[in-house]
Amino acid sequence: MSGRERLLQRNLPVDIDLGALQKIAVSVRATHKQYMSAYGRALSRTAATLRKRAMADIKTGLAPRSLVMVRKRLLSFRLMRGAALDEGKIWLGLNAVKVKDLKGRIRGRVRPHHDLHSPITGRFIAGRRKTTETGFDPKGSLLSSQNFINGEVGRTRSGRRTVVIRDPQTRRTKEAEVDIYEPMLNVIEDNAFADVPAIFLHHFETDLRGRIKARISL
């Protein structure tokens, strides 16, 4: 399995040097409870650090119209303590994003309009405005331009231009989405994940020493 193929897994393992943690615990004379508490806190703080870094990557890579939407729908880190304390798991929820939620240029196809008059009967006859292939050119540096089969230019309730996909059979429409999973997963691992073990170790040692100094045993 190649490196980039491996990135497409939803759960990315993070190796933690258990031996290094134990050496720190022994050197400061930490109790087992202090060790376990510091380990759990380090997991939470590492997740928060990774989320912050990943959000920065998302802001430039996707160019979302609202970071609130990103926080709610795109990314979730969960570092879980397993039976052994040498691995944390990070779950990434990078679901597709609607075109309307991304900055960029919409290239639109206009649906047929009956806007011509017959010179003989005076009635409307079928006419077609100039058409172009419906697509989206995202502003985000990680996304590529794409076209949508059966796509049409539409507008949201607020009046913003977007792209909708019309089912040829039912004529029903749904909002077009942009797949962000692979490009975002790649850049997040390259940037945010590059030094996860070091980040975790820093948080662990800082928390453990703080517990020892404050004589916190819980």
Tens-level pLDDT at each residue, the chain (218 residues): 444 444 445 556 667 788 889 999 999 999 999 999 999 899 888 888 888 888 888 888 999 998 887 777 666 666 655 555 555 666 667 788 999 999 999 997 555 444 455 566 655 555 544 456 899 999 999 999 999 999 999 988 888 899 999 999 998 999 999 998 888 888 877 877 778 888 999 999 999 999 999 888 76
d(CA 152, CA 25): 61
Same domain, 139 and 86: no
174 shares a domain with 194 = no
Residues 12 and 113 both lie in one domain: no
The reply to whether 41 and 86 lie within a common domain is yes
Q: Which amino acid is at 218?
A: L
CA dist., res. 180 & res. 186, Å (int)? 10
Does 88 share its domain with 190? yes
Residues 79 and 117 in one domain: no
Judgement on whether residues 14 and 46 belong to the same structural domain of the protein: yes
Structural domain tally of the chain?
2
Q: Which residues of 195-214 are buried (b: 16+ CB within 10 A; e: fewer)?
A: ebbebbbebbbebbeebbee
Rounded to whole angstroms, the Cα distance separating 138 from 144 reads 7
Per-residue pLDDT tens over the stretch 40-69: 899 888 888 888 888 888 888 999 998 887
pTM score? 0.68
CB 161 within 8 A of CB 106: yes
Domain span at 71: 3-96+179-214
Q: In 3D, which of 187, 184, 165 has the Cα closest to residue 175?
A: 165
Q: Based on the fold, state whether residues 160 and 188 are members of the same structural domain.
A: no
Residue 25 pLDDT: 93
DSSP character string of 95-157: --EEGGGB-EEEE--PPPEEEEE-TTT--EEEE-------EEEESSTT---EE-TTEEEEE-T
Q: Are residues 26 and 86 in the same domain?
A: yes
One domain, residues 71 and 125: no
Residue 16: exposed, middle, or buried by beta-carbon count in 10 A (0-12, 13-18, 19+)?
buried
Which tokens go with 141? 């540096």
Q: How far apart are CA 185 and CA 94, in angstroms?
A: 8
Q: Which residues touch 19 (CB under 8 Å, ≥6 apart)? A: none
